[in-house]
Chains A and B, each alone.
Chain A
């Protein structure tokens, strides 16, 4: 139950940050991605602010054996970049550039009741479901 409350609060602050930063506005995101147009560099500062704070948290993890409420820190274990990582990220980047939505801002915009965000999120979830189906087909006994 505690894990749910802290998770909810983290999601809430995350969402407020997306709104405050301008990330929840696809038009602003596209202005950032448009280097050859009238460039709005704001979103680079979103990354700077976010990384400045999050890197402190990740540094603290190294000194602790377990999180405050969870049983253990669950960090990704893969180290080496591979083809899936690069091709997947390139695909994501194309989709990001087409509409100006990445997953977090799209979910916030859906929460705000914007119909176009609902269409984007529905397609995004369908894409994720397609990935799961293809993965199960590829490795039928993959542990959940």
Chain B
């Protein structure tokens, strides 16, 4: 029933990238005692606690500079963004509100939460995965089909 697009399947780079993501989350945990949840790190800045802001800004600076470090060695892989600007605004609002109400995103729940066997993170991950699959199905095969 499911047709796998073998031509686009990139198992090695996916695994390697995953290992780096997990390694970074492990570093932040063991060195700083913090969870590498991107929505939490970014959203926590808006709470307005200045003493808590430094490590958050430093982590985000690392994320920002990653593509620049990459470009010193190799060309950046292309990022194709099909959504138009209005769609991106709607999507961004949903992701911003949703991740804060849901206390996490793909990194905080999907990587860190599942790694520490949190029942809340399992429920959250199943919820956003199901919503993601359902939304793409609706957009590509019901509305746009």
Q: Are B15 and A49 in contact (CB under 8 A)?
A: yes
Q: Which of A35, A47, A98 contacts B87 (CB 8 A)?
A: A98
We find that the number of chain A residues with CB closer than 8 angstroms to chain B is: 118
Compute how far the CA of A88 lies from the CA of B96 in the bound complex, rounded to whole angstroms.
10
Q: Are B97 and A20 in contact (CB under 8 A)?
A: no
The proximity string for A residues 73-117 relative to B, scoring 1 for CB distances below 8 Å and 0 otherwise, is 111101111001111111111111111111110111111101011
Compute how far the CA of A72 lies from the CA of B28 in the bound complex, rounded to whole angstroms.
12
Q: Are A95 and B95 in contact (CB under 8 A)?
A: yes
Write the nearest CB–CB distance from B103 to chain A, whole angstroms.
Answer: 6
Q: Are B91 and A99 in contact (CB under 8 A)?
A: yes
Interface core residue of A45, A61, A72 (most chain B CB under 10 Å): A45
Q: Are A128 and B43 in contact (CB under 8 A)?
A: yes
What chain A residues lie within 8 Å of B66 (beta carbons)?
A: 11-12, 14-16, 18-19, 108, 111
The proximity string for B residues 51-67 relative to A, scoring 1 for CB distances below 8 Å and 0 otherwise, is 00011101111111111
Q: Are A97 and B23 in contact (CB under 8 A)?
A: no
Q: Are B22 and A99 in contact (CB under 8 A)?
A: no
* In the complex with contacts A8-B58, A21-B14, A91-B94, A70-B31 CB distance below 8 A: yes
Q: Are B28 and A10 in contact (CB under 8 A)?
A: yes
* In the complex with contacts A40-B5, A57-B29, A111-B68, A12-B62 CB distance below 8 A: yes
What residues of chain B have their CB less than 8 Å away from a CB belonging to chain A? 2-5, 8-11, 13-36, 38-39, 42-43, 46-49, 54-56, 58-70, 76-83, 85, 87-107, 109-116, 118-120, 123-125, 127-137, 139-141
New A-B contacts (19) at CB < 8 Å, excluding given A50-B111, A94-B132, A109-B67: A6-B28, A8-B59, A10-B24, A16-B66, A17-B17, A17-B18, A19-B17, A34-B136, A39-B3, A45-B11, A46-B15, A54-B23, A58-B26, A76-B103, A81-B119, A97-B132, A103-B107, A108-B63, A124-B96
* A and B contact pairs by CB, cutoff 8 A, 24 listed: A8-B62, A11-B24, A14-B21, A20-B13, A31-B5, A33-B133, A36-B140, A39-B5, A47-B114, A51-B115, A54-B21, A54-B112, A93-B130, A94-B94, A94-B132, A95-B95, A97-B135, A98-B83, A99-B87, A104-B106, A111-B68, A117-B81, A123-B91, A132-B43
